[in-house]
Structure 1
Amino acid sequence: MLQFLKALLKRKPKVNKVDIGSRFQLISRVGQGSMSKVWRATDRRTEKTVALKVLDIEKTERLESRFSQMKSKKPTEGEVAITLQHPHIVKTFEHGITTNNEQFLVMEFIEGMSLSYLIDVQNDVMKKNRLKFIVELGEAIEHFHRQNWIHRDICPRNIIVDQSLNTKLIDFGLVVPNTAEYQAPGNRTGTATYMAPELIKRQKTDQRIDIFAYAVTCFEMYTKELPWPGGETLEAVVQHINLPPKELQKLVPSIDPLVAETIMKGLAARPNERWSTMGQMLKPLREALHNSQSQ
């Protein structure tokens, strides 16, 4: 009888799978990441327009297998996203498993533009609001870090600017807990040109890899280019990780020196020479934004 009870307790709870074909009316494809597809959809239960994200089974399993030796199970994207409540982070209403065994997330649908697009066009929206966007994104990352996560993929394609000109961080597929076992050397995931040197070298990592990626993104927002020459492959990035970054103030002489210094410190090759927390990096950026709005 005791063995039967032990076996019963070990059984996984039953998962109620969702037939997304009947639950949602798919309106149009609005995005496709490296591991997922996203649709604009109508939730027939609520009649609301939502963003429906469906993760590719094979690619998701391949990613999760990298963490299979961990003592604690890596949380899924849905498990992370559902906990995040911040004005500059996309809201996730629900997550689960489809009848085809795919992971899915139901999120708020955001009408807007990718930050990648705004970096490319450098239009008035970007020029007049870039410091505001930078502070908002920093506040989203600060909130994220306070929940004890490492994002691992901060970059312009994972940020949307909505029609009210507010930034939204939208992707959590590579997130890991900010704990010793997930900080251990070895796992190299992310977007190559935003990877911190310690991540590329497979050394110990922590939340400062997000600070580095954020600084690269900020640099791009002002210059439309990356802090280092070269291509976007990992091999190209490896070749220049020991080179100093371009000087932001030389590229953009009109930039507030306080902003330039803050971003350049975030680009430091050695983690100990970077800002130690997102909150610390935000202080001078908030000050610069306040000063600019007071003029």
Structure 2
Amino acid sequence: MANFLKNLFAKKSRVAKVDVARRFELLSRVGQGSMSKVWRARDNMTGRMLAVKVLDKMKTERFEARFVGLKKPIEGDIAASLQHPNIVHTIEHGITTDGEQYLVMDFIEGLSLSYLVDVQNEQMRDNCLNYVIQLGEALDYLHRQNWIHRDLCPRNVMVDPDNTVKLIDFGLVVPNTPDFQKPGNRTGTANYMAPELIKRQRTDQRIDIFSFAVTAYEMFAKRLPWDVPDQETLETVLQHINKPPKPISQFTPHIDPRVAEVIMKGLQTNPTDRWQTMSEMLIPLRKAHEEIEAKRQMEQKLKAASAKAKAAKTKDGSAAVAAKAQKAKEDDDFFEQILFGEGTTKVDKPKTIPTTTAPPKEKREESAPTKPRPTSSKPAEPKAPVAKSNPNKTKTPAPKPIPKSASPDIVIEDEFDGIEIEVEGHKLDAVAADSESADEFDGIEIESELPVETESPLKPSDVDRKFSTLLTEEAQEANRVQADAPLADDGDEPVLRLPDDD
């Protein structure tokens, strides 16, 4: 201990006074404490971005006056001696031309821990225990270097983009020696001060353990362990040291019970009931953190595997749907080929499926005899003669049909199916009549084997103009009987028939 104090307070060469405004380009104010101001600055010699802290001269002298005769080291000397990943690196320190102490430190691009406590965003929720442990490791290192911080709180902690915690302020740090442990020096931030410090009792590193427990409590619960107003006063501080802290699990049910137990033990009013060292306090915190992280990684792996399986299932489902659609398309193509033919494509397909044509009205009414009805005043137009084959006759060429242009005024009755003419005395189912007697004509019965007078064949124009007939039921029956009877073979005499009901 004697060698430590001797080396600490030995006379050292001081750096020359520096005109901070000329040496550095002060870009913007990034922080201000009760005893200092901090700028974001660029070193004009190297171009490096730095943080320049300038201490208020009068406030610093007032604070150091409390340790008259003890030769308390200045902040620059303490900060420059600390080398730890969770403590900001101090590059240089000295005295300005105005007689103020200044420190040049790495500029931390990040967020204040006090801000993260207030917002409680996803970053804070996911890394809260990790931040607590990092801050505890910085404090443990400080204690092992035989220092007491005396002002540990979220305001004096930064978190960089890599989620690395940095302890940045050492204005109230004192050596952890008997001379500086004496009661009477009551400095710090009120809501984080240990009860023995407020009561002006003897202090040691355990006051930092109490402040650390309050800070950890606030990081998880976003509140202090006691009900206190927004404005800090000594009366409120005296009230909270006389009341037990509220259980942290009351405000954060998700907190691990082991972590909650560690924090609550650090808040004990009696120093002997707290954790005695930071190293001891960090052991259960690290163990809980390792198990929690292992569980979280396992959950992430299971979640990733579940998502992968779900994606694969969705892919298989999509493939099944596509296969089903392809099968439906193949079925449609198969039925289309059956309906429209093998070589039919969609372009060649008819727009509508062909339907069976209804039989002619004559066929539908063949079985039911029709009653004769009078013809209209206008003679019915007979249909053009069509040659009808006879199995007992030699087939001969049929006469040319009557051109339609020759009979523009002829009307065909529904019941009239044409004229049957047998040449050379066979059969004639028509009669010449004057157009005036067409209404009284009801049909003609012709006996079989009637001789026919040899006359010149009727011209188509005469037939179209003069002949119109309506066969009665009896005439139709007689015609069918005669049609079915075998005809005498007249050699090469042609037989000409017009279409009938058959």
Confirm whether residue 136 of structure 1 aligns to residue 134 of structure 2: yes
Q: 2:197 — aligned with what?
A: 199
> Which consecutive residues of structure 2, in runs of 5 or more, have no partner in the other structure?
1-10, 296-502
Confirm whether residue 218 of structure 1 aligns to residue 216 of structure 2: yes
Which structure's relative contact order is higher, taking Cα pairs within 8 Å and 6+ residues apart?
Answer: 1
Secondary structure of the corresponding residue to residue 66 of structure 1: helix
Q: Shift of residue 13 of structure 1?
A: 5.9
Q: 1:126 — aligned with what?
A: 124
Q: 1:167 — aligned with what?
A: 165
Residues 193, 234 of structure 1: 8 Å contact kept: no
Q: 1:7 — aligned with what?
A: none
C-alpha separation in 1, matches of 2:138 and 2:14: 34
C-alpha separation in 2, matches of 1:63 and 1:74: 10
> Which letter maps to 1:289?
H
Alignment of 1:1-295 (within 5 A): 16-70=16-70, 73-231=71-229, 232-295=232-295
Deviations 1:196-224 (A, max 9, x none): 00000000000000000000000001111
Deviations 1:207-253 (A, max 9, x none): 00000000000000111100011232222101221110011122212
Runs of 4+ in 1 over 2 A off after TM superposition: 11-15
C-alpha separation in 1, matches of 2:22 and 2:113: 33
C-alpha separation in 2, matches of 1:264 and 1:61: 37
Q: 1:6 — aligned with what?
A: none
Q: Which has the higher strand share?
A: 1
> Which letter maps to 2:274?
R
C-alpha separation in 2, matches of 1:12 and 1:249: 51
Q: 2:440 — aligned with what?
A: none
C-alpha separation in 2, matches of 1:143 and 1:84: 9
C-alpha separation in 1, matches of 2:233 and 2:50: 34
Deviations 1:144-185 (A, max 9, x none): 111000000000000011111111000000000000010001
Select between 60-69 and 210-219 the one with higher mean Cα deviation: 60-69
Residues 93, 108 of structure 1: 8 Å contact kept: yes
Q: Shift of residue 187 of structure 1?
A: 0.5
Secondary structure of the corresponding residue to residue 213 of structure 2: helix
> Which letter maps to 1:49?
M
C-alpha separation in 1, matches of 2:194 and 2:92: 32
C-alpha separation in 2, matches of 1:151 and 1:251: 28
Secondary structure of the corresponding residue to residue 104 of structure 1: strand
Secondary structure of the corresponding residue to residue 202 of structure 1: coil
C-alpha separation in 2, matches of 1:69 and 1:223: 43
Q: Shift of residue 292 of structure 1?
A: 1.0
Residues 14, 94 of structure 2: 8 Å contact kept: no
Q: Shift of residue 15 of structure 1?
A: 5.1
C-alpha separation in 2, matches of 1:214 and 1:226: 12
C-alpha separation in 2, matches of 1:268 and 1:14: 43
Secondary structure of the corresponding residue to residue 215 of structure 1: helix
Of all paired residues, the percent bearing the same amino acid is: 63
Go from structure 1 to structure 2 and tell me whether the alpha carbon gap of 1:103 and 1:14 turns closer, same or farther (over 3 Å shift): closer
Secondary structure of the corresponding residue to residue 29 of structure 1: strand
Q: CA RMSD in A?
A: 1.2
Secondary structure of the corresponding residue to residue 26 of structure 2: strand
